[in-house]
Every structure is written in C-alpha cells, then in structure tokens.
Amino acid sequence: MLTRKLVIVGGGSSGWITAAYLNAALNLPGVDRRVDITLIESPDTPRISVGEATIPSIRHLLAVIGINEQEFMKATNATFKQSIKYVNWLNDDNSFYHHPFSRVRKQPLDFSAKEWLESDRSIPFMETCSEQPTICEMGLSPVMAGPWDMGAPLTYAYHMNAQKFADYLRDISVSRGVKHVMANVTDIELKENDHIAAVDTDTAGRFDGDLFVDCTGFRAKLIEEKLSVAFEDCSQWLLCDRAVTMHVPYDKHYPGMVRPYTTATALSNGWIWDIPLQDQRSIGYVHSSAFIDKESAEREMRAYQGGDCDDLPSRFIHFKVGRRHRNWEGNCIAIGLSGGFIEPLESTGLYLSDLGAVALAEYFPFKDEHMEAMAFRYNRILSNRFYEILDFINMHYCLTQRNDTEFWCEVQKPEHITDRLQAKLDYWKNKSPSMSDFDDQFLPNQKLQPFTGGDMRVPVDTAALWNHESYECILYGMHFEPRDRKGMDYQTTGSVNVHPYILQRLTHAKQKLPKHEAWLQQFVGMQNYPTAKKPKGWVA
C-alpha cells in the first residue's frame, strides 16, 4: 500500500490532537507506515493558554494514543471533573444544580423523572438518581487511593492546561515519527480540480500532500481564505461573542480545596467558567458585547473572584458562534476553530477537535477515488453533532426565569430558540424525554429545514453526546414543567424517593474516596498550598 501524505497546518490543541490520534490509529505498530504526517506550526502565532474542561470522550483519545493517566495529569496540571455545577441559571439567588457524568437507571423500566415530578421535589432531581452531585459537593475524588472496590466505576473527565496538553501531545507525536516544522505558510497551491497540491513556507520550503488539515483557528487559512467555504453564523441562538479570562494562582489564592467539577455561574450578561487545575484556577466571563462593555465585564469578573485580584492580568477573547458549511472540502479538512465554534458551556471545545480527528481516522481516504464519498459522510457527522451541541446549550439559556437584566430577558424570546429545540420542548410538555425520542427526531410541529452545506437532508440529533437522561437533568434542574395527558399539571403524590443504590454508594464514598486535592497530592505531585481567602463567588 502506498503511503499517504497528510499535512496539518497549525498546531495548538486541535493540530496536535489530530496528529497524535491519526498517527496512533492509522500507523499501527509493526506495520509499514500508511500515513506520513507533517505538522507545520507558525512561530509567530500567539498561544492562548486557558484552563480547559473536557467530557468523558477524552479518555478514548488518550487510550488510543496510549497515554498513561497519571503521566498525562502530571504533564498538564490536570484534575478530575465529574460534573458541571450550574449556579444562578434559573434565578439570581445562589441556587444551583449539577449535570453529572454518572446516573443510575432503574430496571426494567425507568420512571425516575415521572416519579420526581409527582413528588414534593424537596430534593433536586439529579440527586435522586445520581450519587455524583453529592460526591462533588463533598469534594471527593472519583477514584480511590487503592484498587477500586465500590461496584460500577464513576465516570469522569478532566480539567487541564490546554497549552501544556498541546506540548505533551507534540512531544509524543514527534517521538513516534510525526514531522514538526516551525514555519509560516506563505502560499497555498491548487490543482486544476481545486484540491490543494502543496503549501509553501517562508523558511522550510514546499510541502506537497494528499490530504491537508486546517488547524489555523478562527483565521481558517486553508478552508476559508483559499477554498472560500462559507461560515454559517449562529449568533441568533447564542448571543455571547466575547470572553474576558484570568488565571488565579494558588500560591496567593488557594481556596482550601480543588473542586472535582466545573462551575458555570450566571452573571448579569452571560456566565463565568471556573476551572480548577493543580496550580491555579482558570476563570473566564463569557458575555455578549451587545449588552455589556469590556470595562464592566472585567469589573464583574474581578468582583466574582474578590477584591484581592487587582494585580492579576486578564485577556479578552473575541469569538463567533457558527460552523463551516462543510468541514471537508476537496482534500482539505477543517478541525478545531477553523471548522466552527460554540461557547464552552458544556465543555465541548476540545471535544470538537477530538471528534474531528476520530471521524477522520474512520473515514480516511486511502485512495483519491474515495475522497468524495468519505467527505460527504464526514460532513454529515460533524454537522449533526454541531447542531446537537447548539440545541443543548441553547436550552440552558431559554429555560431561565431570570429577568434582572436585559440580556436574560432577551435570551428567552422565541426568536432565540432553535426550531429543533422548540419542537423538543413542545413534545416534552406531554411526556418526559425517553431514548426513543431520538430515533429520528421528527417531532410534531417541527420545522424541517435542510442545513446549509450541500446536504439537502435536515439535521438529526442522534443523542451521541446527550441522551434523554442529560436532557432531563437540564430540564428539571431549570424547573421545566410538563403536562399530563389530560393537559393538567402534575399533582404532588408524596415525598421524593432517592434510589437505594444511591444511598448505599454515598455511604461507601464517604468511607473510601479521598478528598480530591489529597489524591492529586499523593499521585500526581500537586503542591500543598496554604489556604487563602476564598473568592467572593465561591459556592462550596
């Protein structure tokens, strides 16, 4: 078999995820290399270093590459993530709910949601069917100090330093045969069929290839600047377009614990992420420039942290929410920000790069005549997944009951709710979500519109990321009220019921799971920082 030449333009997390994964998935040990991979990285492009939260799919990526968990955590200052805690999303009153990764499903039929809706609801819904919200609030690690003996393992992901993650994958990839070139791309040569023939650089010469991956971020140097693939603006559904970020180091600002979850706290005109690493917290206020100016946004972020952070530098990041009409055009594939962006409310930033690489490995065209068929299928997968994420994040906003600012009043208006999501919400007024609701996603009153990009079929939510249980979590965390079949509201029939398995798991967790920071100190070398004043926005 002839070796295929793959050229990745752009480094960062998306570039090195693509290089490391494809190298591991396609170039198997003991077999001749099927794909020759070169990554060209500009020495002049600023590197954006932020704390990054992930979802459990990251563990598949690490497993395929062959990465040891503890070595990875040491190299990237990583911590465990078991949930996202949503604070002040329903009302501005310090109320919260969790979206955890593990949940108990009753057998043979699961009526957890119906039973909770008909109870007095004195306990939050997810605490009746998952032990992880309480484990998170207790600040416990999802793994034990010794061998696991608590039954089914807890599902978890990680928080990490994204820049260190890119460097870690770079070192692994280069040691395994990926070529790393530091140079600026100065020209892109096209063939007669408008496929890319080669890229020229300022210091390293010319690189031809069979396939080119655009990881140049929002600039989209190949897919947009050269190939003119248009961008679908989705800002109608998600109004935030800017973030102000800040690192809060533990040497002066350690709050006394490392939360085993991400916190998303709604503020006046958006929300703030709070991501704990081993040496610092990364916080960032995602907001709408149409409703708040830069100075006010930064002031609000610093007020969240507390008045002792005036010396900490901040940085603004501008972004546009949307997707490329086609992620794969000709022999060019856009992965990462060049292919699209959705605000990171559900920690899908790295996931979209992860998905782009995993799907490319599955649909890799080993022959030129396979290119068009592979591209068609790849584009379908990526577009469906984008719209799934868009709808799910859109739901967090439109279900709010806040009316304290113009921003929160605006996001609830019907014109800011996607047609797909509205059809789901209308249907789930009649019944709780269930798995079969995602078989084809054609629901009553749904407006069936094909998406832009050449595929005339409508998008389909396949529940690949979030099934009915995740939808129930957000719906009932945000006090979504259904109706029974007679059109009447649910009536209270008794006290809330917590699954006995949950109670048993919590008893074992208190006895067997170490504090999150204690596990990090013992197994990955986190320092033991002295406790400082807790930030103003801290909700323990």
Domain membership flag for residue 525: no
Task: Provide the domain count of the chain.
Answer: 1
- 492 pLDDT more than 70: no
Q: In what order do the strands lie in the sheet with 185-190?
A: 185-190, 196-201, 206-208
344: preceding bond cis by omega (within 30 degrees): no
List active site positions.
Answer: 81
Q: Considering the domain boundaries, does residue 183 fall inside one? A: yes
pLDDT tens for each residue of 352-408: 999 999 999 999 999 999 999 999 999 999 999 999 999 999 999 999 999 999 999
CATH number where 42 lies: 3.50.50.60
**Do strands 328-329 and 332-334 pair parallel, antiparallel, or not at all (unpaired)?**
antiparallel
> Do you know the residue count of the chain?
540
Residue 520 corresponds to which amino acid?
Answer: L
Contact (CB, 8 A) for 420 and 496: no
Instruction: Give the pLDDT confidence of 76-94 residue by residue, as tens digits.
Output: 999 999 999 999 999 999 9
Given the structure tokens 């650089």, which residue do they identify?
201
In sequence order, what DSSP letters do the residues of 28-69 get, joined into one string? -TTS--SEEEEEEE-TTSPP---EEE--TTHHHHHHHHT--H
Token pair for 116: 């909770």
Per-residue confidence (pLDDT) for residue 487, from 0 to 100: 47
Tell me what the pLDDT averaged over the chain comes to: 93
Averaged pLDDT for residues 122-147: 96
In a domain, 303, yes or no: no
Any domain includes 478: no
**Helix/strand/coil (H/E/C) assignment for every residue in 93-132:** CCCEEEEECCCCCCCCCCCHHHHHHCECCCCCHHHHHCCH
Would you state the pLDDT for residue 485? 45
540 vs 537: CA distance, rounded Å: 10
Confidence of residue 110 (pLDDT cuts 50, 70, 90): confident
Quick: pLDDT tens for 298-344.
999 999 998 788 999 999 999 999 999 999 999 999 999 999 999 99
CB 254 within 8 A of CB 530: yes
Residue 69 is assigned to a structural domain of this protein: yes
**E strands, 223-313, where?**
231-233, 242-249, 262-267, 270-276, 280-287
| Distance between start and end Cα atoms, the chain | 58
Question: Average pLDDT of 428-441?
Answer: 90
- Which pLDDT score, from 0 to 100, does residue 479 have? 96
The pLDDT of 472-478, averaged and rounded, is: 97
What pLDDT is attached to residue 484? 60
Residue 17's pLDDT is 98
Residue 459: pLDDT band with limits 50, 70, 90:
confident
> Which two three-digit tokens encode residue 130?
């998952």
Within a domain: residue 197?
yes
pLDDT band at 495 (very low <50, low <70, confident <90, very high): confident
Range scoring the smallest mean pLDDT among 6-10, 410-414, 425-429, 492-496? 492-496
Per-residue pLDDT of 161-218, as tens digits, reads 999 999 999 999 999 999 999 999 999 999 999 999 999 999 999 999 999 999 999 9
Structure tokens at 17: 């995820």
Tokens of 479: 């006090």
Let me know if residue 305 belongs to a domain: no
- The pLDDT value recorded for residue 535 is 64
Q: Which residues pair with 111 in a beta bridge?
A: none
Residue 54 within any structural domain of the chain? yes
Instruction: Please tell me the chain's helix, strand, coil percentages from 3-state DSSP, rounded to the nearest 5.
Output: 35, 20, 45
Q: Residue 490's pLDDT band (boundaries 50, 70, 90)?
A: low
Cα–Cα distance measured from residue 263 to residue 276, given in angstroms and rounded to the nearest whole number: 9
**Which pTM value belongs to this model?**
0.95
Task: Provide the percentage of residues in the chain whose pLDDT is more than 90.
Answer: 84
- Would you give the DSSP letter of residue 483? B
Measured at the alpha carbon of residue 50, what is the angle toward residues 47 and 54, in degrees to the nearest 5? 120
Domain that holds residue 38: 4-77+160-234+326-383
